[in-house]
């Protein structure tokens, strides 16, 4: 691109300002999470508190079962991720390399779920979960969420399709059945795509709000995302801002770390979701 030296500098200044503005709310969350209680209620603009402390974290755990919420979030997000991959990997493999009657129709049925706004599935799913006794259980949150696996199937099918057919031919001649072909030959070649879908599913499940909010009722069954709302609305007048920001930090940390570690896979997954 033809940009003279001076305009590069302008560009960098603009981006530095934009990045600082974008990151500022997160910096402020960090600052408040580590600020001693008396400092929180001082109208201040200093970016870091004097005498930073972990007191807000211990206070948060005392006020609400934050540890349990964290574990619940990990269980829910982990189980949804595992469940989605467990049904999507074989399905994607079948749609990509096997030929059978009705394949295209069934593929449309699965991938078509991408176009269904989940709002319209909410009420009957809630009723069904409640009537089989899974209301207020993590299982009740996890199982229906696995049905929304259209994009994972679509993405993994693309990855499987990109593999050369000779790979499977050779294995078939050696007497490997389709399951062995999938597990020992195809899967090791598409780990990047699987990892991308795992991270994407985990992020999505960790961030679920309305669905777990409807299903999980008792305080100790909540996940972090919905516990935060309880925390924000049950504080005394004036609010427990320090402990609340400490809890928000705990809710943000796993996904931010995951993002920083798996950035390349995530970007490719998001980019594909845009091109689809």
Partner 1 sequence: MTTAWRGAWRRLAGSPWLFAGPAVAAAILFVWLPMASTLGLSFFDWSLLRQEATWRGLDHYRGTLANPDFHLALVNTGVYLAALLPLQVGIPLVLAFALVRVKAKATGRLYRTALFAPSVLSFPVAAVVWLWLFNPTVGFLNTLGGAVGLPPQRWLTDPDIAIWSVIIVAFWKSFGLNLLIFLAALANVPTDVTEAARIDGASPLRQAIDIELPLISPALFFAVVTTIIVVLDEIVGAVDVLTEGGPYRTSSNLLYFLYERGFRHFQFGEAAAVAVLIAAIVAGVTWAQFRFGERHVHYD
Q: Which of residues 144-183 bind partner 1 (CB under 8 A)?
A: 144-150, 153, 177-179, 182
Among 79, 110, 196, 246, binds partner 1 (CB under 8 A): 110
Q: What is the DSSP string of 239-250?
A: --HHHHHHHHHH
Q: Site size for partner 1, by CB under 8 A? A: 104
CB of 221 to partner 1, least distance (A): 16
Q: How many CB atoms neighbour CB 56 within 10 A?
A: 24
Among 6, 13, 14, 70, binds partner 1 (CB under 8 A): 14
| CA neighbor of 155 nearest in space, from 275, 7, 1, 15 | 275
Among 54, 86, 132, 170, binds partner 1 (CB under 8 A): 86
What residues from 30 to 59 belong to the interface with partner 1 (CB under 8 A)?
Answer: 32, 40-45
Question: Is residue 11 part of the contact set for partner 1 (CB under 8 A)?
Answer: yes
Which CB atom, from 188 or from 238, has the smaller least distance to partner 1? 238
Question: Is residue 235 part of the contact set for partner 1 (CB under 8 A)?
Answer: no
Question: Is residue 226 part of the contact set for partner 1 (CB under 8 A)?
Answer: yes
User: If 0-12 CB within 10 Å is exposed, 13-18 middle and 19+ buried, where does residue 81 land?
Assistant: buried
Task: Provide CB contacts within 8 A for 176, sequence distance 6+.
Answer: 184, 185
CB of 256 to partner 1, least distance (A): 6
Range in contact with partner 1 (rule: CB under 8 A) among 58-66, 117-125, 161-169, 185-193? 117-125
CB of 10 to partner 1, least distance (A): 10
* CB neighbour burial string for 129-139, b if at least 16 within 10 angstroms, e if fewer: beeeebeeebe
Among 13, 54, 98, 162, binds partner 1 (CB under 8 A): 98
- Give the Cα separation of 94 and 55 in Å (integer): 53
Angle of helix 66-97 relative to helix 224-234, nearest 10 degrees, comes to: 150
């Amino acid at each position: 691109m033809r940009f003279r030296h001076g305009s590069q500098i302008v560009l960098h200044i603009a981006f530095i300002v934009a990045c600082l503005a974008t990151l500022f709310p997160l910096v402020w969350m960090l600052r408040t999470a580590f600020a001693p209680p008396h400092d929180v209620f001082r109208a201040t603009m200093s970016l870091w508190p004097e005498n930073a402390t972990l007191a807000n974290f211990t206070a948060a755990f005392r006020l609400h079962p934050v540890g349990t919420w964290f574990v619940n979030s990990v269980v829910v997000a982990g189980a949804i991720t595992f469940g989605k991959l467990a049904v999507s990997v074989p399905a994607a493999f079948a749609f990509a390399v096997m030929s059978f009657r009705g394949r295209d129709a069934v593929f449309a049925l699965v991938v078509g779920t991408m176009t269904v706004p989940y709002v319209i599935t909410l009420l009957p799913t809630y009723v069904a979960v409640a009537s089989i006794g899974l209301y207020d259980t993590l299982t009740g949150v996890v199982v229906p969420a696995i049905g929304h696996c259209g994009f994972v199937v679509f993405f993994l099918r693309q990855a499987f399709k990109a593999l050369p057919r000779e790979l499977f031919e050779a294995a078939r001649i050696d007497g490997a059945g389709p399951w062995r072909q999938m597990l020992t030959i195809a899967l090791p070649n598409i780990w990047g795509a699987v990892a991308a879908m795992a991270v994407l599913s985990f992020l999505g499940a960790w961030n679920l709000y309305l669905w777990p909010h409807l299903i999980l009722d008792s305080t100790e069954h909540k996940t972090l995302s919905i516990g935060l709302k309880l925390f924000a609305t049950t504080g005394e007048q004036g609010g427990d801002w320090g402990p609340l920001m400490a809890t928000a930090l705990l809710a943000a940390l796993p996904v931010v770390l995951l993002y920083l570690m798996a950035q390349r896979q995530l970007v490719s997954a998001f980019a594909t979701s845009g091109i689809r």
